[in-house]
Amino acid sequence: MDFFDCHVSYGMDIADSQLYPVHTIDRVHAEMKRAGVKNAVVWRIESAGAGPPIGNALLAEDLKKYDNMYGVWALLPPHTHEIFEPDRMLDEMKKNRIIGWKLCPAAARFMVRPFALKPWLELGVRHNIPFFIDTAHGTSLDAVADLLEAYPELTVVLTDANVWPNDRNLRPFVAEFPNVYLDLSYCITAGGLESFVKEYGASRLLYGSRFPYSYFGANMMMIKHADIDEEDKVSIAGGNMKRIIEVMNL
Amino acid sequence: MMNCNSQLAQRFWKYGRLEDCPVLDFHGHMGPLAGGYLPACSPEDMLKIMDRANVAMLCFCSHQATMVPAAGTSGDIAVVQKYPERFKAYHSVVSRHLDPERDLADMEQYPDVFVGFKFLADYYKVPISDKRHDPYWEYADKHRLLVLVHTWGGSDYNCLRHAEEVLERYPNLIFIAGHSFHGKWEGAVELAARYPNLYLELTAVLDDRGVLDYFVDKLGSERILFGTDLPWFATHHGIGAVMSADITDDDRRNILYRNGKKLLERFPWFEEFWNKYGGGAF
């Protein structure tokens, strides 16, 4: 079973007081090896704290060292022209092994509304580019709903930063929108995998650890020993994330 | 593999459960929850989850007992009587609807059901050190019972200060700090160092990487108890976190069952129960 982690970050956070922070991609790589994680989607936390232009550039440079990691760049509304323009973005993503976008509106101070992000949303739908949306960074579930109601085909990897059992909020997204995937980083309810897979199948769930804020191994163990078919475990562990990348057309 | 530096982790990874490493879970609930969907909250569904990880016993207090004072603890008593070798209960202390006479009579009547009390002061908004709780603390202290206390770092009702107000008065009970004063990790370790009857419990701690490593580094592993909030959090998630921490396999065994065994040995029913799990073999 190959694990492809959809939620890994690293970098130097000026505000966070994490006990054992992970500053470099080298350390991420070493910890992945220790845990047996084959691939990961990563972003640099400076994309929030220092802004997307800086964080995205640092990430692109780091990714040159490790081909088992894929990057996610943070977006801004295109109106201020601070990051690559939409017509150049796809080439730059391809060149730098970037496979999706993040939104950090709390740090970057912008509105998550369809009209503010329209060119990115249109590009995302046209090219199957996933938006990795984590409510921890300031996009509420209501805002995610607004985006999806405007662009129902949008691919969204949804992280709800909340360990409370949250199926009442998350299942309607999966039921309503065909390209919404749930990052399991915070979805750790007992029996939750089994219950979800029984109703919706395994194709919409992604292994995510939230490393370095959580251990790689906690959710790996939860998936490996869930009471579901082996084939479903393989999909959740890495197959689904791999497929999301494969259907992108940059 | 989860952790290539640990033999125990590699075996857990392979099998999901180990006969020579049972698990004692000191923080459980049961039944449906107002604030979220719990798909496996019946005793039978919880037992299936426990079996898959070889959780020998869960000490719990149901949502009904904590949130529905009118229903009381009868449901918990019935569950323990049905599955006496798998579940033991904490008697709820519902701060705004206290009846010490009735509750302590329950304790006297069902010594094989209850291991102690459960405080959930953040929810009731009454500090654990409030004098209305004195009869419960006194009873627990007199009988050396376990008291599972929901604790949280910034709480107005069950933070480090409130815990110390209790601990300095009651040295004989076992104060289990559920969630380990979440967020106030340094203070939790310092308080545990001062009070030998304080144990740090890991529910909602294990989703924060590094906290367990820090506890073991600063306090050692002998005063840490495994817990999951089952049916809230997946047991294998918690075990995976314990296996991932940068601690020794001996530490992991202390946390998963050895420390808990030492605490439960005070109850007459324990020896027979434990012998069924191999007794002193591990």
φ, ψ (nearest 5 deg) of residue A100: 180, 180
Q: Is B224 a member of any domain?
A: yes
> What confidence score (pLDDT) does residue A15 get?
83
Cα-to-chain-centroid distance, residue A130: 8
Question: End-to-end alpha-carbon separation of chain A, Å?
Answer: 28
- Residue B58: per-residue pLDDT: 98
What's the domain count of chain B?
1
C-beta atoms of B39 and A212 within 8 A: no
The beta strands (E) that lie in chain B are given as 23-28, 55-60, 87-93, 114-119, 146-152, 174-182, 198-201, 224-225
pLDDT in tens, chain A (250 residues): 999 999 999 999 888 778 999 999 999 999 999 999 999 999 999 999 999 999 999 999 999 999 999 999 999 999 999 999 999 999 999 999 999 999 999 999 999 999 999 999 999 999 999 999 999 999 999 999 999 999 999 999 999 999 899 999 999 999 999 999 999 999 999 999 999 999 999 999 999 999 999 999 999 999 999 999 999 999 999 999 999 999 999 8
pLDDT greater than 90 at residue B200: yes
Measured between alpha carbons, how far is A210 from B22 in angstroms, rounded to an integer? Answer: 28
- For residue B77, the 8-state DSSP code is H
Could you identify the residue written with the tokens 């069950």? B158
Residue pLDDT, tens place only, B70-114: 888 999 999 999 999 999 999 999 999 999 999 999 999 999 999
Query: HSE (CB half, 13 Å, CA atoms) of B28?
Result: 31
Per-residue pLDDT at B195 exceeds 70: yes
Comparing alpha-carbon positions, the chain A residue that sits nearest to B235 is A190
Q: Which of B13, B36, B240 sits opposite A165 (nearest CB)?
A: B36
- B119 domain-assigned: yes
Domain membership flag for residue B3: no
Q: Is residue B145 part of a domain?
A: yes
Predicted confidence (pLDDT) at residue B281 exceeds the cutoff of 70? no
Under an 8 A CB cutoff, do A189 and B38 touch? Answer: yes
| Structure confidence at residue B279 as a pLDDT band (50, 70, 90) | low
Distance CA A168, CA A44 (A): 31
Domain boundaries, chain A: 4-246
**Which member of B3, B39, B185 has the closest CB to residue A191?**
B39
Report the percent of chain B where pLDDT is more than 90.
95
Check which CATH number belongs to the domain holding B126 and give it: 3.20.20.140
B16 domain-assigned: no
DSSP-derived letter for residue B132 is G
Mutate to test the interface with A, among B2, B27, B29, B256 (most CBs of A within 10 A): B2
What does pTM read for this prediction? Answer: 0.97
CB under 8 A, 24+ apart: contacts of A20-28: A20/A212, A20/B209, A20/B210, A20/B213, A20/B214, A21/A212, A22/A211, A22/A212, A24/A62, A25/A62, A25/A63, A25/A65, A25/A66, A25/A69, A26/A65, A28/A69, A28/A211, A28/A212
Report the pLDDT value the prediction gives residue B277, as an integer from 0 to 100.
76
Residues found in chain B: 282
pLDDT of residue A217: 98
The CATH number assigned to the domain with range A4-246 reads: 3.20.20.140
User: Residue A142's CB: how many other CB atoms inside 10 A?
Assistant: 8
Nearest CA among B170, B105, B94 for reference residue B132: B94
Mean pLDDT of B137-166: 97
User: Position of tokens 């392979």?
Assistant: B14
- Number of neighbouring beta carbons within 10 Å of residue A116: 15
| ipTM confidence | 0.97
Q: What is the pLDDT of residue B280?
A: 60
**Nearest CB to B36: which of A168, A218, A225?**
A168
Span B46-58, average pLDDT:
97
Compute the radius of gyration of chain A from its Cα atoms. Answer: 17
Distances (CA, A) of B189 to A130, A168, A228: 42, 36, 39
Measured CA to CA, the distance from residue A9 to residue A24 in angstroms comes to 10
Q: Is the pLDDT of residue B263 over 80?
A: yes
Residues spanned by the domain of B245: 21-281
d(CA A16, CA A10): 12
Whose structure tokens read 């206390």? Answer: B149
Residues of A with CB under 8 A from a CB of B: 18-20, 33-36, 163-168, 186, 188-195, 211-222, 224-227
| Contact call for A215 and B245, based on CB within 8 A | yes
d(CA A20, CA A61): 24
Q: What is the pLDDT of residues B206-254, one digit of tens each?
A: 999 999 999 999 999 999 999 999 999 999 999 999 999 999 999 999 9
**A98 strand-pairing partners:** A71
Mean pLDDT score of chain B = 96
Which of B48, B63, B57 lies closest to B16 in space, CA to CA? B48
